[in-house]
Amino acid sequence: MASCGEEYEATPQVRFQLFSLVLPSYRFQLKIIVFNPHIIDPSHDV
């Protein structure tokens, strides 16, 4: 294994893979927040 900093540069391909992994779950969370705004601030009574 080479040193982490040298070998693991965020190439567009790697970035895209990470993005495609993260985006679905992020979208899902965003959807939850959008449809249930009280989740953002649970201490605030509606």
Between 32 and 3, name the one with better pLDDT.
32
Per-residue tokens: 4? 């982490």
Mean pLDDT of the region 15-38: 76
Query: For the chain, how long is the longest CA-to-CA vector?
Result: 54
DSSP assignment, residue 44?
S
List all residues 6 or more positions away from 8 whose beta carbon is below 8 Å from its beta carbon: 14
Domain residue spans in the chain?
Answer: 11-39
Question: Is pTM, for the whole model, over 0.85?
Answer: no
